[in-house]
Chains A and B, each alone.
Chain A
């Protein structure tokens, strides 16, 4: 070990000495003649600008070092701010040094040059001629071109075809299938089933189908209770309410956000009537009329789920939604959801 260190030390000393000793001039290879005319004009020195630039560079180096230090020293308060400040200042001061260099230390030449020619008619002609003359052996030009085109097109279709595996194909059943079948219980986010008696007026609840995937678009419901005499359900939603309790898909029919606002008047004589509102574009739905749109850009009423109360007082679905859940698409009014 000691020997190795000694050898290393000797090598280092020799290396340093070699660098400091005067060198032999290199053998003249193809030493070019000194330039007769300057390409870049000479400029006057600006020592102040030089000092400024050097100062900025050094400051930048300091900041960069500070960045490394802050990075290594973990658990500093406001660590992200210190890191950003040090690296940012490092970059900005080196940038400033370069800009000073560019504006004051480097000769700013304003040169002139010709724009390249607008076009090259001779070469264009040659290209056209080359292409034209290359077909001298073809007799059925149009047919050949047609063949090439057909082959190319068919090959392109063939190469693109596997992309279809990315999607589920043209089957859109998944857009209308829901986990709500007749008799499914409504449960809360923790899986506890809702009793009809739990549902109070002037508030709202989020419900899910028991045992189903909650993230599925058709799963979440928003459930509210209205005074039965305030209900004004259309014919197609007759019987959908259970003792004044109504349930709608929680997914807005405009663009698919969750409807998490329920406005309910404390003083109905003077305040707007109860409504479900979506926070994305403020589509507003009236639960008393089966989820019709009363404000905002949604073009389709909120899908309503028929409810019933079972023998033990639990809330259950009495069927499926009266329309597909989620944003509108081509067949959304033509298909009925199924479980």
Chain B
């Protein structure tokens, strides 16, 4: 038995390291699970892109679930994600609020006229302070916020058809079950 002990120890180590490798392929290592899930979204009041005199705040968006999509004209992945927002995400039937993150208003407007505007309203966070409250660190990011203003889901990185099927649809189904 004691002859086998080193072998057993070795196999245990192999399985531990094997699990580590498997685990890392299953998860995007750049992704940090947001501590804000199932917590009320931070309060914000931001000017509307292109209409600086008008502000949109958290309270004015309550009453209906919505997506909050963090984008910027300087963000390369946002270009890849954009067609998904224009088609599949819009088809989900929820309003999409654009969160223009650390961007020049003119650059953002030009970018949207080039690529299309899938957003119902766009708020501009020029200095990124509201972004910090949302725990934003890399655009694109997408939040699902329910009718009571609670963050239910967050996607870090671009939305893909797979993400919609595996993550967003189930989150919407869970939401629909709650509302009487």
Chain B binds chain A: no
Residues of A at under 8 Å CB distance from B? none
